[in-house]
Amino acid sequence: MIKQNKLSFSRLAIYATLLAACAVYLVPLIVMLLTSFKTPEDIRSGNLLSWPDVITAIGWVKAWDSLGGFFWNSVKITVPAVLISTLLGALNGYVLAMWRFKGSQLFFGLLLFGCFLPFQVVLLPASFTLGKLGLANTTSGLVLVHLVYGIAFTTLFFRNYYVSVPDALVRAARLDGAGFFTIFGRILLPMSVPIIMVCLIWQFTQIWNDFLFGVVFASGDTQPITVALNNLVNTSTGTKEYNVDMAAAMIAGLPTLVVYVLAGKYFLRGLTAGAVKG
């Protein structure tokens, strides 16, 4: 009986700690959400956690008017870069795990080295390359930069996932006459849903939230939403409209939140898959 009471108390303490941690993390979100629906007068007269006297969506309307075009720029940049880098990473990981060739370990080591290169190192070479290709200050140029930079990460994820697949499965498929793409498309890809979700979440988060590449490689109407948000928050005439700033920040952050909610259950499963073998 005493042991059972100790377990109940321990569980209660764990739940209380978790709830307190959730509250701490949710306070900034609550403040942003409440502020975005307040009027400027309400913001100046009340406190951060007070309920709006008059609920209005004018802050959201103004924020979307300022960021709407840049929001779709980020969509045009993020979606193709995420999908292509994930597909190429899957192919690279498949080759490195199942079709070893001379120099494959060196190739994998170079890709692994690419994961640790800071963004600042590639700014000048990437600018030179985009200029030569005629892609400077374009959304296509940003897609190319994110695609090249992301392949190292997706290859690493898929390679570590595929080395956990039994070799006998692939050998049996080869004996049955299955070729390179048949094994990849009909055997490995259907098994790769967890790691695909990891790559989608990882790449989407990295690319959507990127500021450095966006501010360096884009200008004017081709900038992503992160750069536009920074310009909006740091540029004001007259009275500062904090409701617009908070609504703009919510608009910029919502896509990443939606992706995590929809695919987050696969994230940990995919990261831990292949962690023992290889």
pLDDT at 200 over 80: yes
Architecture of domain 59-272: Orthogonal Bundle (1.10)
Amino acid identity, residue 168?
A
pTM: 0.83
Average pLDDT over residues 75-91: 93
pLDDT at 6 over 70: no
pLDDT at 264 over 80: no
Distance (Å, rounded) from C-alpha 245 to C-alpha 164?
47
Q: Could you tell me the pLDDT band of residue 126, with boundaries at 50, 70 and 90?
A: confident
Mean pLDDT (the chain, rounded): 84
Count other C-beta atoms under 10 Å from residue 41's C-beta: 11
Distance of alpha carbon 129 from its chain centroid, rounded? Answer: 25
pLDDT in tens, 16-66: 888 888 888 888 888 889 888 988 888 887 777 788 888 888 989 999 998
List the alpha helices (DSSP H) in 99-218: 104-115, 123-133, 139-162, 167-175, 180-183, 189-191, 193-208, 212-217
Of the ranges 169-178, 221-230, 237-246, the best mean pLDDT one: 221-230
Q: Where are the domains of the chain?
A: 2-45, 59-272
CB contact at 8 A, 6 and 25 = no
* Per-residue model confidence (pLDDT) at position 184: 83
Q: What is the sign of the dihedral through the CA atoms of 257, 263, 265 and 270?
A: negative
Average pLDDT over residues 92-105: 82
pLDDT at 78 over 90: yes
Q: Could you tell me the pLDDT band of residue 108, with boundaries at 50, 70 and 90?
A: confident
